[in-house]
Chains A and B, each alone.
Chain A
Amino acid sequence: MTDLERELRATMIEAGERVPVVEDLVSRAAKPARRRRTWLASGLAAVTMAAVGVAIAITAPSGNETAGVSTPSTSASTQTQTGALIGNWRPVDIVGFDNSALPPPGLPAGRAPNITFTSDGRWRGSDGCNAIGGTYSAGDDGSISTASGYQTLIGCINVPNSEVLERAARFAIDGRSLTFYAAGGQRLGTYERV
């Protein structure tokens, strides 16, 4: 081992020892996971139905909760579906989430929960206190698939934007309203253009 390597090792060991002790790692690790499990459990039926729901979803992605939201179709407007997705959206009604916790519109964009789709196939946003992001692929037929990448994790009540996108198989845009659906056609969440 060279002097450089020895010094590198000593530097890193010393740096590591400077880090303050984090006392609540167990609760920080367990609580968000429990919350997520609960949320997923509430959607278990939807996941179970997904296997048989794909064909239905293609022809009728709207479930019982889609009144007032147009569904993707082969109409003349389909060409704009993907393009219309681009932009910044704020959650207004997430299934399985206490929507009363959502902040009112008009908060500074940096902190408010939101999702932004960009034309390079990436999405980014915030769950209210954590930066989230990933990639997505959307089709003019209203299909969408996403992958989560970067996510900082700070313990707080998180708006499950990432989870909505992870499960989203289809999307529909009606004016300023964007709604995501699971593969089985269940509504996952509705967003409003900012």
Chain B
Amino acid sequence: MEFDEYVAARGQQLVRLGYVLSGDRYRAEDLAQTALMHTYQHWRRVRRMDDPHAYVRRVLVNAHVSAARRSSSREAPLVMAESAHSEPDPALAVAEHDAMWRALAELSPRERTVLVLRYYEDLDHASIAAVLGIKESTARATVSRALAALRAAHDPAIVKGAGDDHDRP
């Protein structure tokens, strides 16, 4: 597979992932570009991997996590001001989803990332751990904690007193 064939097949998927992670379409393009630039430079090695896309996804996700970590400690407005609310969402008319999207924006980058990997990318805990370079038990705990935080952000009234992520909303 050539690099441009890979990008044609998977490039937009990376942009989508960047958007779901960051909530900002321009940031999404930057993340996809970052991951693809890195991939292009190492393409001869990447193309021989069992799952090249998993590698590129890992690069993208970690670029997002480290950027979010840095920006939150130093220049939060740079990223966050552009995120979520800067782009009107005319297509998202369903109020339920809009509320969920806003709740997602209230999570920490780490929490949001594990939820995206678990429910958008459909990765199991072991795969999430591999992407983020953490223990599987840590990934599991972070997903659980992130779900609880999401539930609280999504509907604070319902979640009062509930700490178990198996509780239904």
Which A residues form the contact surface with B (CB < 8 A)? 2-5, 7-22, 25-26, 28-30, 32-33, 37, 122, 124, 131, 133, 149-155
Contact = CB atoms under 8 A, between A and B. Distances in A.
* Chain B interface size, under 10 / 10 to 19 / 20 to 34 / 35 or more: 35 or more
| Cβ-closest 7 pairs across A and B | A29-B36, A16-B16, A150-B70, A11-B100, A25-B11, A12-B120, A9-B119
Contact of A18 (B34, B70, B92, B151): B92
A18 B94 CA distance: 14
Nearest to A34: B40
B86 interface: no
A19 B28 contact: yes
Contacts of A12: 20, 104, 116, 119-120
Contact of A4 (B97, B101, B154): B154
Given A4-B154, A150-B75, 12 more contacts: A4-B150, A15-B19, A16-B19, A19-B19, A22-B11, A22-B29, A25-B15, A28-B33, A32-B37, A124-B74, A150-B67, A152-B27
Nearest to A133: B70
Contacts of A22: 11-12, 15, 29, 32
B66 to A, nearest CB: 6
16 contacts: A4-B151, A4-B168, A8-B100, A9-B119, A12-B116, A21-B15, A22-B29, A26-B4, A29-B33, A29-B39, A30-B37, A122-B74, A131-B78, A150-B67, A150-B74, A155-B33
Interface of A is mostly: helix
Nearest to B28: A19
Q: What DSSP secondary structure best describes chain B's contact surface? A: helix
Contacts of B27: 152
**A9, A10, A11, A18, most chain B CB atoms within 10 A:** A11
Nearest to B25: A19
Interface string B9-48: 0011011110110010101111011101101110000000
B97 A10 contact: yes
Contacts of B120: 9, 12-13, 16
Of A2, A20, A26, chain B has the most CB atoms within 10 Å of the CB of A26
B104 A8 contact: yes
A21 to B, nearest CB: 6
Interface string B98-137: 0011001000000000011001100000000000000000
Contacts of B81: none
Nearest to B16: A16
Contact of A33 (B11, B28, B40): B40
Nearest to A120: B74
B138 interface: no
Contacts of A19: 12, 15-16, 19, 25, 28
Contact of A153 (B4, B16, B33, B97): B33
A82 B6 CA distance: 46
A144 to B, nearest CB: 20
Contacts of B54: none
B20 A8 contact: no
A12 B122 CA distance: 12
A150 B34 CA distance: 11
Contacts of A17: 16
Contacts of B154: 4
B100 A7 contact: yes
